[in-house]
Amino acid sequence: MSVKELVAKVDAQQKQLALYEKKLRDVVRAYKSLESERNALQTVVSSLSGTAPEGTATEPSTSKEQAENSETAIPASSESGGQTQDTVASLRTALATLTLEKSKREAAFQADKKTLQGEKEALLEKLRKVADASEQEAEKMEKVIKQLSDKVKRIEGDRDRELADHGNVLAEMQARYAKEKVAAENAHKQMAELYTKVKDLEENPKTRNKAAQEEIGKLQKELEKWKKKAERTPTVQLLQNQIENMKLDYDKMLQEMSSKGKMSFESSDNGEKLAGFESKIFRLSERIADCEKEKAELVEELKMSREENSTLVQKLSETPKIAAPECTDLKTELRKMIGQFLKQHPAEELRDIIGNDSRINTLEKRLKELQKECDELKASSEIAAQSKEGDFQDDGGLRSLISQLHAKLRNLEETHTADMVQYEATTRNLRERITELERNEEANLKEIKRETQDKISQMEMEMQKQRERTLDAIAEKDRELEATKSILVSLRSEQLASSSNVPLDPHSSGKPVPVSKRRSAEHRRHLDKRHSTGSRRSVDAISESSVDFALSHEASNVPLSQINEMKNVFYEDELAKKDKEIQDARFTIQQLEYRLREMEQNALCKDLQHHEMTEKLKEEIRVLEGKLKLVSSGGDIEYLRNIFVQYLNTITTASASSKNILRAMGMVLKLSSKEMKIIDNKK
């Protein structure tokens, strides 16, 4: 067992000990009061029983002395008067003790009544405090729920605004995407045109190669001449160098464009676009590589043709020719003359000296065509590069915008998660607070009920004990009254007999006999009637009436009928007072029980109201949690809904099957009637 449990157990035991001590004090007090009453009654009985035999013993002695001598009657009466005074004094003390005990009992009863009333008021005050506290807690919970609902509404408004902003941003992005798509299609068309041109270029060298192979046989005779001319003329060499430089520049430009595209594509987040551009560039690079391969093959074929030409030249040189030395002399002289002329006139060209040749013209035409094609390829590549750079710049702007939007979304998600965590923590704390309050209130109600039940049971037990004690005391007093009544009747009969036999007043010796007999008979009938009805008698009333009777009988010679009538009236008044007090006590007990029942009913009603209030609060919390779940889960749906609406706005035509698909998607995304009409209006 823990220390708290031991302390609680010790406190409970101390409370029980205090209750036991209180009960023991009450028992001891009641016992002392009863003991004092019993002693007083014993003194009364002993005094009454002691006077009776002395009276009976003196009566024959006085009768004998009166018969013998009338002078001895006076001392006997004086002795009996002294004994009666002693009995009267003892009776007075006994009656005083009885009245004192009765007053003490009444004071104890009033004190118990006051304590019970104080406890009842304390319980009522405690109930009021508990009810006020529960109402305050309910008001606090309502305020917290209102705050949470306002917060949820604010979050929903922020969410709607963010979704609207995202919709606008998506619309802008889609517009830019459409522009980029158009630009990409244009670039694709340009690439297709370039591809066709490259194919044409590939086909032209093949046809030309065939034509050259066909013309090889025709040009075998003049091959040496053309070879020497090609060696001597620097224009062809310059043209070849220009073509090679143009090729190198084109390769560098393509490499730079590809490197720029790669660098820009690596930093972008739009994966699909970049992948498309990379694939296109890769295809273009493959095509260019194929073109280069074909060009290399053509160069190799040209080399092969040159080798064949050289072999043919060797064969021709080996064959004997007529007038070869003359030709060689002419060639050498011609070369010398051309060299001298070029030294003297460097501005002129060899073509002007030799004259127009169809083959040279064709070669120059082909060279010009190749230069034009290279220029066109350069211009198209520059246009494509510029468009790609513009696209890359647009992509950079889009990437920056997308990065900003991503950062904003991350911040919003972080704030949303923080708000959700805070909301969950507050809801968890509120739930714990509600459960704790419910537990505390249930414990308080159980404790109050238990205390009230304990108090009621203790009150009932005390009232039952008090009732039993009063009934026992009344029964004992009834028995004692019966005994005293019998003693008084015997005493009165003896006194009447003595007074009838030896009258004190000789003038009234013949009258009192019938009156005493008649009044004693009436007194017996009255006592029998009172005994038969079973009404409760009071010891105080009887003792006081007996004392008054003795004093009045000793002080003055009042007739017995008047004394009995006075005693009966007083006794009836006292009995009526006691009955009224008992009825008042019963009425107060009934009122207290009725009030206790009302208190229990009020406590039960408040308990039910509090339970209903807690149930309502729980239901509101469940509704708010559901709304939050809908808000948290509905963000993606709203995002998809906005994208779908933007897609519908971009679509111009739609078939029947696509309309059905769009309607199904709209029903899944829960579009409005206006948005569904947009789908129906598509043709």
On whether the CB atoms of residues 427 and 618 are closer than 8 A, the answer is no
> Distance from CA of residue 205 to its chain's centroid?
83
- What percent of the chain lies above the pLDDT cut of 90? 0
| Alpha helix (H) residue ranges in 502-559 | 512-533, 539-555
Quick one: 523 exposed, middle or buried, by C-beta within 10 A (0-12, 13-18, 19+)?
buried
The whole-model pTM stands at 0.23
**Which tens digits make up the pLDDT trace of 124-142?**
888 888 888 888 888 888 8
Which DSSP string corresponds to 394-417?
HHHHHHHHHHHHHHHHHHHHHHHH
On whether the CB atoms of residues 540 and 102 are closer than 8 A, the answer is yes
Measured CA to CA in angstroms, residue 191 lies from 157, 186, 263, 287, 515 at distances of: 50, 9, 22, 10, 160
Backbone dihedral region for residue 355 (phi beyond 0: left; psi -120 to 50: alpha; all else: beta): left
pLDDT at 611: 79
Tell me how far apart the alpha carbons of residues 165 and 409 are, in angstroms, rounded to a whole number. Answer: 11
Tell me how far apart the alpha carbons of residues 473 and 544 are, in angstroms, rounded to a whole number. Answer: 18
Identify the weakest region by mean pLDDT among 16-25, 323-332, 391-400, 435-444: 323-332
Judged against a pLDDT cut of 70, whether residue 114 lies above it is answered with: yes
Angle of helix 560-650 relative to helix 73-216, nearest 10 degrees, comes to 0
Tell me how far apart the alpha carbons of residues 132 and 294 are, in angstroms, rounded to a whole number. Answer: 99
Averaged pLDDT score across all residues of the chain: 68
Among 52-56, 144-148, 572-576, top mean pLDDT goes to 144-148
> Could you tell me the residue ranges of all domains in the chain?
178-406
**Which tens digits make up the pLDDT trace of 207-245?**
666 665 676 566 566 656 655 655 545 555 666 666 677
**Nearest 10 degrees: Cα torsion 59, 65, 66, 71:** -120
Tell me how far apart the alpha carbons of residues 9 and 284 are, in angstroms, rounded to a whole number. Answer: 94
Judged against a pLDDT cut of 50, whether residue 72 lies above it is answered with: no
